[in-house]
Structure 1
Amino acid sequence: MPNEGIQKITLYGIFIALTAMATMAITIPMIGTQGYINIGDTMIFAAALLLGPWGGLAAGAIGSAMADILLGYAFWAPWTLVVKGMEGYIAGRIGHRIFHRHKKPVPRVILGLSLAALWMVFGYFVAGGFMVGFEAALGGIPGDLLQGGASVAITIPLAYLLGRLISSEEISLLTKKR
């Protein structure tokens, strides 16, 4: 495939943009942590399942940090770059190959997404602890758990539908190891 690199960059770019848009579409401010609840994790998880750990990392890190900046939460962007990037990487590392093999919500895929969501909760607790104090950061945990749990539930059918739009052959070629 001569345009493999261009196709890969294009898919990464699409998922980065979708992550930023999904993050910005619905925002519920969390007063205590000066952050917000959103549904951007669904696109991070979809990128991770479809494109693998590096696609999840790119969508999570760049798309989510861009959304922070565009929404006026730039002070969170450096933390988001790391927390959401690793969230995408974890989800893709655990769930990508299994998702492609089964294309349904098998336990390992759900486990991978759940562990990635728990990383996000932990990561933002630590980040919030440094930014606003650990006592205030505790107040963000319920919202982050809600966000992560809802994203896990939404992602499986969403990733399945998106996977049908992008042919399995294209995804396999773009994510194979060299």
Structure 2
Amino acid sequence: MAKASKSKLVATVGVFAALTTVATVIVQIPVPETKGYINLGDAVVLLSGIVLGPAAGALAGGIGSALADVLSGYAHWAPFTLVIKGVEGFLAGLLSRTGKTALRTLGVLLAAFEMILGYFLVETLLYGVGAALAELPGNVFQAVFGALVALLAGEQLRRRIGVADAVS
């Protein structure tokens, strides 16, 4: 990979991490049972995977979402979020590399399901199954909304930015 391509990749990952942070912080709907919140950041996490590919999508999604937790007063969630959202960005990017719509859709849906499952497991460990079940509808809504936005905008954005080919 040429130096200019590496520079463009680093800059783009940084921009996507920042966009993830902003999308997560700008709209937060609190969930009292787990002291968590529903947000719009998943759309950008999934877009990161589609546009940047698995590794860079994992970095942008994980770092941006964890930073949002820290900035929002949920620092205790940041390590869990880093892993859960990092894996989400990775999975979204993994099958998107093929360029096939059906596989990209499958990758985004698997990534969204991983996010729901990841938070459900951590919430169950931290707060109990009742609280985790209470947050489940919000996580499903967040995942579905994010998946729709990512699938509608992802391929167009990927073509315009042209970074994913450099990291595939």
Q: TM-score, normalised by structure 2?
A: 0.92
Structure 1 match to 2:43: 42
Read off the aligned partner of 2:131 and give its amino acid letter.
A
Instruction: Provide closer, same or farther for how the CA distance between residues 51 and 84 of structure 1 changes in structure 2, counting only shifts above 3 A.
Output: same
Distance in 1 (alpha carbons) for counterparts of 2:44 and 2:14: 12
C-alpha distance in 2 between matches for 1:164 and 1:4: 15
Show the counterpart of 2:27: 26
Residue 77 of structure 2 corresponds to residue 76 of structure 1: yes
| Aligned-residue offset at 1:109 | 1.4
| Alignment partner, residue 97 of structure 1 | 97
> Counterpart in 2 of 1:12?
13
Supply the distance in 2 between the matched residues of 1:17 and 1:115 (Cα, whole angstroms): 24
CA-to-aligned-CA distance 1:100-143 (integer Å, 9 cap, x gap):
x35xxx22212111111111111001111122122211111111
The root-mean-square deviation of aligned C-alpha atoms, in Å, is: 1.5
Question: Which residue number in structure 2 is paired with residue 59 of structure 1?
Answer: 60
Q: Read off the aligned partner of 1:127 and give its amino acid letter.
A: V
After TM superposition, what 4+ stretches of structure 1 lie above 4 angstroms from structure 2? none
**Helix, strand or coil at the partner of 1:140:** helix
The answer for unaligned runs of 5 or more in structure 1 is none
Q: 1:6 & 1:149 partners in 2: Cα distance?
A: 33
Is 1:137 the counterpart of 2:132? The answer is yes
In structure 1, the residue matched to 2:167 is: 175
Are the equivalent residues in 2 in contact too, given 1:87–1:119 (CA < 8 A)? yes
Equivalent-residue separation in structure 1 for 2:29 and 2:129 (angstroms): 21
Contact 1:43/1:59 (<8 A) preserved: no
Task: Note the C-alpha offset of 1:13.
Answer: 0.5
In 2 relative to 1, CA 119–65 (structure 1 residues): closer, same or farther, beyond 3 Å? same
Indicate if the aligned counterparts of 1:53 and 1:92 stay in contact, CA closer than 8 A. yes
Q: Distance in 1 between matches of 2:87 and 2:39?
A: 17
User: Tell me, what secondary structure is at the counterpart of 2:73?
Assistant: coil
Alignment of 1:120 onto 2:101 = no
Query: Of residues 131, 149, 153 in structure 2, which corresponds to 1:154?
Result: 149
Q: Number of aligned pairs?
A: 167
Which structure is richer in relative contact order (CA contacts within 8 A, separation 6 or more)? 2
